[in-house]
Amino acid sequence: MADKAASPEKKSWADVEEEEEAKAKATAAAEAAAAAAAASSSSSITEPAVEEQAKQIEALSLAPSVDDAAGEEGPPLLDDSDDSQIQAVISGGTVYESATTFEDLKLSPELLKGLHDEMGFSRPSKIQAITLPMILTPPYKDLVAQAHNGSGKTTCFVLGMLSRVDPQRKIPQAICICPTRELAQQNKAVLMRMGKFTGITCACAIPPAQKDYMPISKMAPITDQIVIGTSGTLIKWITHKKLATRDIKILVFDEADHMLAEDGFRSDSERMMRDIQRSAGGCQVLLFSATFNDRVKDFVTKVIRDGNQIFVKKEELTLEKVKQYKVQVPDESAKIEVIRDKIFEFGQKVGQVIIFVRTKQSTKNVHNALTREDYVCSSIQGSLDQSEREKIIQEFKDGYTKVLISTDVLARGFDQAQVNLVINYDMPIKFGTRDEPDYEVYLHRIGRAGRFGRKGAVFNLLCGQTDNVVMKKIEDYFQHSVPEVRNWQREEDFEAALKDAGLL
């Protein structure tokens, strides 16, 4: 309680790094909106005390989510003292105390040690404070939770899995499904660090590299308590009885909107859910993502009927600290020129860069075009052999390569704090359309910069009329106007943009 009053700057995991300007103010405001959404989405408020709390939360949502410099009029800035008014969030008639500290959550000493000593987290982030009690309190209701990119969702479900697993029993008790192998591996790495002192083990269910191929019949049954993987391999392990599902207590869908989208992994996900629910009975389902479009949200709320729900309005979803820009270029070769001669000039000084392209072939083309003796670039896409994918990711995470060209394989979830510049070489388009943006992919891509409230910049390279139509639709959708870099040939214009973003 005492530290609550004396915390003008929010000491959470956002500031593990040295940046003191990463005060996570934007995150706090945005997450309050999440809490408000949670309160308003619950229809059955009965207890008066609860109702009052819900009103407080609702009131918070009226505060602007803009911080400094935005210059918009309106009520005063939502800061941490207001923020601390959030004590409980209710949903479906169950009351949950929001957690102020990890200690409030009655986590095991081993887990607390992992959080503090290994991860360096001092306090839960907002989404963690709200969802962890929901995840960890009986009757272990299902949960669908939306929160901003880089706000700490992974910790929510990793802690959930680690807490609900019995370390003494050497059988699978928790499963996490991810859309890409990279994300599965990353989540496993986080879980292993956080659970370092628990003795809990974890298997990664992704296809092996060519050189490690082994027929499934020769594979030993899984004895790890937790399995994290991609849908195809998980299903394969289950159908070949290498992964027993009867003791699964918790099933997590990371990037859940994509895992449940019709043009995503819905059929695989439904099959997993059906099989596990059938063999394990009442297993808790957790759905996490930064995005849930109306279509998916509609479907999800039908699937998770009796669960807790937290949603964020799409207008409040863009990260304040990640400045977006558009750059008009005459043709494709100008895109290369801009990246090489303008953006790299400054971008390289600043941190790491991810360049998103639409097709696998483009990763190679752009890679070749950008390769010069003084720039170390690498590129990744899903057709590479697994060992190659791992090597490229490792080199990037180690900071050996500064510029990574990627398809949307890395659009979601990929977490590298040093990435503060994202370039949309191609704009994300819904498959089968010419000028219909994929809003969710756009948001996820730009979320690769600005992890945990850090500053970042995005350059959208626009060439031709359809690109402009797409950009305009994106601005309208998120109700966020994107300024233009005036002249693609002027280095000073890019310098100004990066300065404005706080990167220079």
Partner DNA sequence: AAAAAAG
Residues 266-295 that bind DNA (CB under 7 A): 268
**Which residues, numbered 64-123, are part of the site for DNA (CB under 7 A)?**
none
CB of 261 to DNA, least distance (A): 7
213 is a contact residue toward DNA (CB under 7 A):
no
Please report whether residue 434 would count as binding DNA according to CB under 7 A: yes
Q: Which one of 313, 360, 391, 472 is in contact with DNA (CB under 7 A)?
A: 360
The nearest distance, CB 431 to DNA, in angstroms, is: 4
Could you give the CA distance from residue 303 to residue 119 in angstroms, rounded to a whole number? Answer: 34
Among positions 290-319, residues that touch DNA (CB under 7 A) are none
Q: Is 413 helix (H, G, I), strand (E, B) or coil?
A: coil
Nearer to DNA, 221 or 382 (CB): 382
Is residue 464 part of the contact set for DNA (CB under 7 A)?
A: no
Which span sits near DNA by CB under 7 A: 76-84, 219-227, 272-280, 431-439?
431-439
Among 47, 51, 263, 345, binds DNA (CB under 7 A): 263
Whose Cβ is closer to DNA: residue 111's or residue 393's? 393
- Cα distances from 85 to residues 32, 55, 82, 131, in angstroms, run 10, 11, 6, 16
**3-class SS of residue 355:** strand
Using the rule CB under 7 A, is 232 a contact of DNA?
A: yes
User: What is residue 287's three-state secondary structure?
Assistant: strand
**Are the C-beta atoms of residues 183 and 203 closer than 8 Å to each other?**
no
**Considering the rule CB under 7 A, would residue 198 count as an interface residue with DNA?**
no
* Sheet strand arrangement including 484-485: 377-380, 403-406, 352-356, 419-424, 456-462, 322-328, 484-485
Order of all β-strands in the sheet with 226-230: 202-205, 226-230, 174-178, 250-254, 284-289, 143-146, 308-310
Return the exposure string of 477-500: e unless at least 16 CB atoms fall within 10 Å of the residue's CB, then b: bbeeebebbeebeeeebbeebbee
Q: Which of residues 330-359 bind DNA (CB under 7 A)?
A: 358-359
Nearer to DNA, 38 or 206 (CB): 206
According to DSSP, the β-strands at 403-406 and 308-310 are unpaired
Residue whose CB is less far from DNA, 113 or 297: 297
DSSP state of 410: G
> Degrees (nearest 5) of the Cα angle 321, 396, 347?
45
Judge contact between 248 and 173, C-beta under 8 A.
yes
Piece in contact with DNA (CB under 7 A), picked from 73-81, 257-265, 323-331, 489-497: 257-265
Closest separation in Å from C-beta 485 to DNA: 26
Q: What residues make contact with DNA under the rule CB under 7 A?
A: 179-182, 205-207, 229-233, 236, 258, 263-265, 268, 358-361, 381-383, 407-409, 411, 431-434, 441
